[in-house]
Structure 1
Amino acid sequence: MRITVINGSPKGKNSVTLQYINALQKTLPDCTFTTFHVAAELRMLERQPERLEQIVAEVQSCDFVLWSFPVYYTLVPGQLKRFIELVEERGLTAGFAHKPACALSTSIRFFDHSAHEYLHEISERWDMHAFRGYSCHMEDLLHEEPRRKFLAYFEGVFRLSRERAWPRRRYVRETPVVPRRLKLPVPSMLQGPPRRVVLVSTVEEKDTNLARMIAYFKGCFPFAVSHFELNEETLRSGCLGCLHCSVDNVCAVKDKTAGELRDALHEADAIVYAAPLRDVFLDGRFKMFMDRRFIDGHCPITHGKSLGVILSGPLRQLANTRFLLDALADMGSMPLLGPVTDEDPPDEVVRQLTAMADVILRDAALAPSPSFYTVGGMKLFRDFVWSHSAIFPADHRYYKKHKFYDFPQKQMGQRLQNFGMSVAFALPQVRKVVWSKMIHYMLVPYQRAIEKL
């Protein structure tokens, strides 16, 4: 069986995820693996169309496509995202059609599901037969039981592929809705106190819907908005996965994203992201910027800042993207403003952009409640940073300073209460009385809290 591996790690041959491919190659001698390091070679692929065509030709002749990637910032790395865009931009998706495919990821299992959902959607968008992906913890290969399960899973997937037992298609074939050209009026300047508003956007031609929405939004303020376009000076590359930032939160890539833009984001009262939608998510260059936010990703420095989102493209058709935008705001404890998109008529776009600017000026955004994303994410990172404090000393210091190490075994009062209740509940008579009035006892502390209002 000939398997083409699309390696989406920026580290190329030095990828941790690629070691899992090496394990498959060693244990499945009847399979031949050909690997393309598309993330590490992105610059070359952008400049040399023939190299991309060579990869697609190999895909056309293979029996199976295996996506291999580390999870970066809730999705695939921005470099892999950009590779997918290149395939679509150059009209080469037919080379992937009807090929069976599966995705393999490594991570600490933080939003691995959304990364797999993205690649599953891309695979079906290209008319591939997409098997459910497999998410490995980055250390699974080092332990016998998870290693056995991982190897058994792909042995089973390859067997089903040989038998042509394709999975049922998950997504409906939809024709993307192309938003109409927006004609927006000159904005009326709002009044309000000075606020530090930072706008981050892709580089846009002036005659695009996104450029017009950005111009209208900026014109609503009685002061200059700090606008950073993600050109080469601002963003030289995506995240390299080098962990250089783990010691002191200083990025190895020297550009504005690591310097002036990062400082502006730290000091901002409100942050606004503006980007086009490419394939089924924000475009690859913006995703590379998001990946570079790993430098502060473990430390919630955005807490309390408003997050505005302005997009061009069919967001209503992209459930996974809508979910991720909500999750990104929740994880940063940021009130989400928008998203505003060009799917709506011009008068509605004007109303929403004006309302977003007004909320920022008045500092009137509604603070979100903590959700599963916030609470679950913090517990994952709490445990990860604590157990890897030698590798992430900067995050470790931050977590200690802000008392994020709230392990339940440290709560001695709760432990003593549980011990006392366990002893009491061991007595049948006590247990009978308590359970007969359990609902009443559950309500008592809430009723007392209401009485104090």
Structure 2
Amino acid sequence: MEENSKVLIVNGSPKGDLSLSLQHSLYMLGQEPSIDYRVAQVGEVLSDREFDKEWLQKTMADIRWCDAIVFTTPVYTMLVPWQLMRLFSLINAMGEDKIFKDKWATGMLTCFHYYDHLAEAWIRATCEDLGMHYIEGRTADNADMLKSRERKDMRFFMHSFLDSCRNKAPVERKFAPLPDTPIPRFSPSPRQGKTKKDDSFKTVLLTDEYQKKGNLSGMIEVFLEAYPYQVQVIDINEFPFESGCKGCLQCEFVGDCARKDGFQSFYIDLVNSCDAIVYAMNLEKRYLKPIWKLFLDRTFANGHRTSMMGKHTGYLISGQLRNLPNVREFLEGKDQVGKENSVGIVSDEYEDSAYLESLITDLARRLDLSILENYQKSKTFLGLGGQKIFRDLIYGMRGFAKDDHRFYRKNKLYDFPQRKVGNQMFNILMGIPFSFKFFRREAHKKIPEMYILQHKHIVESHRQ
């Protein structure tokens, strides 16, 4: 008699048994015969800075026991929660990464499809780096499981995954291994010493490394000297985090964060009082250093309100950014959805220290000009798509997400096309004649010229 397949659900949600994400995996596995499964409540246990060490040992034993892992998680700040990242970091620090090797894996992610592709990409790349066989996971809107068609697809997905696991089907690797070549050492020219700085604009520099011997500290010093304004430097390692975001939504319903470490006030006061923020960040493995995930998750204490709207940003990055396009997409998407004006990202992947120094100096120059002109760069799909997802989400939650709803109304973020009366009237009036083919044929001849008529008028009337 064939032995049952052993499956471990690694639940990254801090809500534990009350996790919506978990219900999806429980449903799918509950439909499968010939399996044994266990649940590791990673998000719930690792939410607190101090955790049960015996629990970690038991979870590692469960990983050794299983044939396959279903990483089950919500999406927090365009990625998995900090708590799930922490599990991998803890096991790596113990030198026990080998317990994942040759396990089969997939993901079950829930959110409103807001950058869920980046979250699964991180899970997949991390699994592949650990020698696991990762099969493309499933992402779901929060209400998907309530639909019979979605449940049918969920059952097929899990059955197919387990079938591949039992039959050891070949699995394609999606992400290339990260090269082990070190980042070139940055050796900037000697600093000229302190000069008097303008205090007319406030700039904050957030970092995970300051005044140390690493490349990032050198990059910060070059920026501070080149930038004409005073800068408040904050090392986020020094903030007394109580722990990670619990996903409890108290901030959404009541207004205040359930954590009592003062982060909510610290963050809101910081962004409300500054004109620009520069992020100086070290990369680690497939993402930023984990302290950044803790920090970014906790910024949700402001709900879905884009606290950085209209601010100017810049990035100094140390690490293999060119090999991590998903990290770049995260940074650019975060800025665009938040209606921030990012002047660019500078990484230290240059053999020529003088050239890197010139890039940092130019970043400081462009940030200065953007602040003076209050320039706002254009959006791509990264920003527009994300904003429309949030727009629809908040409008659908307006009955209880009062603060978010007021913010979206005040800032005219409810840009639904059906509310544009002129556009609606145009479509009604043109609907009748355009139902006739001969009219459409004649209109087709004239549309190219008509399409640019107003734009052409602006061009002509504003010639020098």
TM-score by length of 1: 0.92
Per-residue CA deviations over 1:406-434 (Å, capped at 9, x if unaligned) read: 22222222112111111011234322321
Q: Distance in 1 between matches of 2:46 and 2:209?
A: 19
Q: Distance in 2 between matches of 1:227 and 1:115?
A: 30
RMSD over aligned Cα atoms: 2.5
Q: Distance in 1 between matches of 2:23 and 2:252?
A: 22
Letter paired with 1:139: A
Per the alignment, residue 172 of structure 1 pairs with: 176
Q: Distance in 1 between matches of 2:389 and 2:246?
A: 23
Letter paired with 1:448: H
Per-residue CA deviations over 1:127-177 (Å, capped at 9, x if unaligned) read: 111111100111212222222222221122111221211321112234233
- What SS does the aligned partner of 1:135 have? strand
Letter paired with 1:353: I
Q: Distance in 1 between matches of 2:419 and 2:290?
A: 43
Q: Distance in 2 between matches of 1:421 and 1:69?
A: 48
Q: In the TM superposition, what is the alpha-carbon distance from 1:56 to its structure 2 partner?
A: 3.0
| Between 107-116 and 202-211, the greater mean CA deviation after superposition | 202-211
Per the alignment, residue 372 of structure 1 pairs with: 381
Per the alignment, residue 425 of structure 1 pairs with: 434
Query: CA 1:425/1:291 → structure 2, altered by over 3 Å: closer, same or farther?
Result: same
Whether contact under 8 Å (1:200, 1:229) holds in the other structure is: yes
Per the alignment, residue 393 of structure 2 pairs with: 384
Per the alignment, residue 335 of structure 1 pairs with: 341
Query: CA 1:393/1:446 → structure 2, altered by over 3 Å: closer, same or farther?
Result: same
Per the alignment, residue 451 of structure 1 pairs with: 460
**Counterpart check, 1:236 vs 2:242:** yes
Q: In the TM superposition, what is the alpha-carbon distance from 1:221 to its structure 2 partner?
A: 5.0
Per-residue CA deviations over 1:38-90 (Å, capped at 9, x if unaligned) read: 22222679766664444333223311111111001111111212222223333
| Between 342-351 and 379-388, the greater mean CA deviation after superposition | 342-351
**Counterpart check, 1:295 vs 2:301:** yes
Q: In the TM superposition, what is the alpha-carbon distance from 1:255 to its structure 2 partner?
A: 2.7
- What SS does the aligned partner of 2:243 have? coil
Q: From 275, 287, 292, give the equivalent of 2:281.
A: 275
Per the alignment, residue 142 of structure 1 pairs with: 146
Q: Distance in 1 between matches of 2:135 and 2:422?
A: 48
Q: From 257, 265, 269, give the equivalent of 1:263.
A: 269
Per the alignment, residue 332 of structure 2 pairs with: 326
Whether contact under 8 Å (2:11, 2:41) holds in the other structure is: yes
Per the alignment, residue 80 of structure 1 pairs with: 84
Letter paired with 1:346: S
Whether contact under 8 Å (1:313, 1:342) holds in the other structure is: yes
Query: CA 1:417/1:439 → structure 2, altered by over 3 Å: closer, same or farther?
Result: same
Whether contact under 8 Å (2:303, 2:404) holds in the other structure is: no
| Between 84-93 and 18-27, the greater mean CA deviation after superposition | 84-93
| Between 98-107 and 23-32, the greater mean CA deviation after superposition | 23-32
Q: Distance in 2 between matches of 1:151 and 1:431?
A: 47
Per the alignment, residue 62 of structure 2 pairs with: 58
| Between 45-54 and 353-362, the greater mean CA deviation after superposition | 45-54
Letter paired with 1:247: F
| Between 175-184 and 123-132, the greater mean CA deviation after superposition | 175-184
Number of paired residues?
453
Per-residue CA deviations over 1:342-392 (Å, capped at 9, x if unaligned) read: 322432332233333333344368632022122222211111111111231
Per the alignment, residue 40 of structure 2 pairs with: 36
Query: CA 1:255/1:354 → structure 2, altered by over 3 Å: closer, same or farther?
Result: farther
Whether contact under 8 Å (1:220, 1:357) holds in the other structure is: yes
Letter paired with 2:325: A
Q: Distance in 1 between matches of 2:412 and 2:146?
A: 31
Letter paired with 1:327: G
Per-residue CA deviations over 1:278-319 (Å, capped at 9, x if unaligned) read: 111111111111112223352233223221222221111111
Residues 210-249 of structure 1 aligned to structure 2 (within 5 Å)? 210-220=216-226, 224-231=230-237, 233-247=239-253, 249=255
Q: From 389, 395, 398, give the equivalent of 2:407.
A: 398
Structure 2 unaligned spans of 5+: none
Whether contact under 8 Å (2:29, 2:158) holds in the other structure is: no
**Counterpart check, 1:350 vs 2:350:** no
Whether contact under 8 Å (2:202, 2:229) holds in the other structure is: no
Q: Distance in 2 between matches of 1:48 and 1:213?
A: 39
Structure 1 unaligned spans of 5+: none
Q: In the TM superposition, what is the alpha-carbon distance from 1:17 to its structure 2 partner?
A: 0.7
Q: Distance in 2 between matches of 1:16 and 1:288?
A: 21
**Counterpart check, 1:123 vs 2:132:** no
Per the alignment, residue 100 of structure 1 pairs with: 104
Whether contact under 8 Å (1:233, 1:256) holds in the other structure is: no
Letter paired with 1:150: M
Per the alignment, residue 411 of structure 1 pairs with: 420
Per the alignment, residue 438 of structure 1 pairs with: 447
Q: Distance in 2 between matches of 1:21 and 1:416?
A: 47
TM-score by length of 2: 0.90
